[in-house]
Amino acid sequence: DRLPALLAAMPKAELHIHIEGSLEPELIFALSQRNGIAIPYAGVEELRRAYAFTNLQSFLDIYYAGASVLITAQDFYDMAWAYLRKAAADNVARAEIFFDPQTHTARGVDMATVIDGLHRACADAQKQLGVSAALILCFLRHLSEEDAFQTLEQAQPFLDKIIGVGLDSSEVGHPPEKFARVFARCRALGLHLVAHAGEEGPPAYVWSALDVLKVERIDHGVQSVRDAALMQRLARDRIPLTVCPLSNQKLCVFPDLQHHNLGRLLEAGLVATVNSDDPAYFGGYINENFTQTFAATGLGATQAYQLARNSFEGSFGDATQKQQLI
Ligand code: ES4
Ligand code: ZN
């Protein structure tokens, strides 16, 4: 069976990766030592054993704890560089990388420190790995819109180093409408807009991400299959969905990978893509997401090519770059 080799070798874009979710336990412990920050786990094995999640919130609690070891620009560089090397090995030609500045600024780490470290890694990835990498600043939706506005203000001097903004963290109870004004401001600034919606939340959150926030892509969006009119809208407007199958499995969005609806999304003509979300926590990087999902659901080469094409169509690279990649 040559399918795993095809999935690994094909050039692809990764459009949904939280850089703090690429922090492997080994690097968490190395940074905890380097910075003198204690973490309540004896070692790498004990930490990995704690990665048994029942829903999104049970994951987020441990994900924010892991990110607490990041202090210096070099820490952010090392984390992003480790991810970008893995991405290059998986034949990722383009990576659009989420980061959660509020997780760091709330601990006294400056916005400049976060963006400097991450952006240097992205620049080095282009030069040394041939990977085109760009940053998307995510607002934490469990915090207030006021806090998001403050974060945007802190990012203002660095807007040339980010391509867009997103919305992540605890979804249910924090609908897109909560961030209508800050997204309108980001739109006026010429930033690309995306939002997590329909991961655990209802189709109504996908509608309001589109119609209120005016996002260009939906992160996850797998709950959209519960609303036929929404499926038509997503297909008609070619709104990309950045689907993360191993994440959905580990956070119990689907009982197992065999029951994942990626195939249904493609059959409905949606611009679905495959991504890794938080690969250090969910058991694999992008190629592992492809190979495990294809093995479990019986998708084949036709869907593989479609997903690779969709990933470049959905990316925010400039038109010439996208054309070269497609
Ligand atoms: C996330 Cl899987 C997921 N969902 C929402 N927010 C997140 N932040 C990091 N991973
Ligand atoms: Zn995500």
Q: Is 250 in the pocket of ligand 1 (CB under 6 A)?
A: no
- In this prediction, residues 19-25 reach a mean pLDDT of 98
Question: Are the CB atoms for 116 and 154 separated by under 8 Å?
Answer: no
- Do 269 and 228 contact (CB within 8 A), yes or no? no
Q: Which amino acid is at 125?
A: A
Tokens of 141: 């939706």
Indicate if the pLDDT at residue 6 is higher than 80: yes
Going by CA atoms, what residue is nearest to atom 7 of ligand 1? Answer: 169
Identify the CA nearest to 199 among candidates 247, 139, 264: 247
**pLDDT digits over 219-254, tens only?**
999 999 999 999 999 999 999 999 999 999 999 999
Distance 283 CA to ligand 2 centre (A): 15
- Dihedral (CA of 151, 153, 159, 161) sign: negative
Cβ–ligand 1 contact at 230 (below 6 Å) = no
Ligand closest to Cα of 248 equals 1
Q: How far is the CA of 229 from the centre of ligand 2 (A)?
A: 24
Separation of alpha carbons 213 and 181, rounded Å = 8
Residue nearest to atom 5 of ligand 1 (CA): 169
Measured in whole angstroms, how far is the alpha carbon of residue 44 from the centre of its chain? 24
CATH architecture of 3-314: Alpha-Beta Barrel (3.20)
CA 184 to centroid of ligand 1, rounded, Å: 22
Amino acid occupying residue 5: A
Q: How many CB atoms lie within 10 A of CB 236?
A: 9
Residue type, position 188, single letter: A
Which pLDDT score is estimated for 322?
76
| Domain extent listing, the chain | 3-314
Mutate to test the pocket of ligand 1, among 19, 51, 56 (most ligand atoms within 8 A of CB): 56
- Residues whose Cβ atom is located within 5 A of ion ligand 2: 277
- Residue 174's SS3 state is coil
d(CA 291, CA 3): 8
Binding site membership of 198 for ligand 1 (Cβ less than 6 Å):
no
Of residues 147 and 321, more confidently modeled: 147
- The 10s digit of each residue's pLDDT in 197-208 is 999 999 999 999
The residues near 287 (Cβ < 8 Å, ≥ 6 apart) are: 7, 8, 90, 91
ipTM of predicted complex: 0.98
What pLDDT sits at residue 320?
75
Distance CA 300, CA 297 (A): 9
Does the pTM of the predicted model rise above 0.90?
Answer: yes
Residue 166 β-bridge partners: 138
Q: In a mutational test of the pocket of ligand 1, which residue from 199, 205, 222, 223 has the highest number of ligand atoms less than 8 Å from its CB?
A: 199
Q: How confident is the model at residue 325 (pLDDT cuts 50, 70, 90)?
A: low
Strand partners, 133: 95
The CB-side HSE value for 143 (13 A sphere, CA atoms) comes to 18
Contact 21 CB / ligand 1 (< 6 Å):
yes
Q: At what angle do helices 25-35 and 73-89 cross, to 10 degrees?
A: 160
Helix (H) or strand (E) holding 95: strand 92-99
199 is catalytic: yes
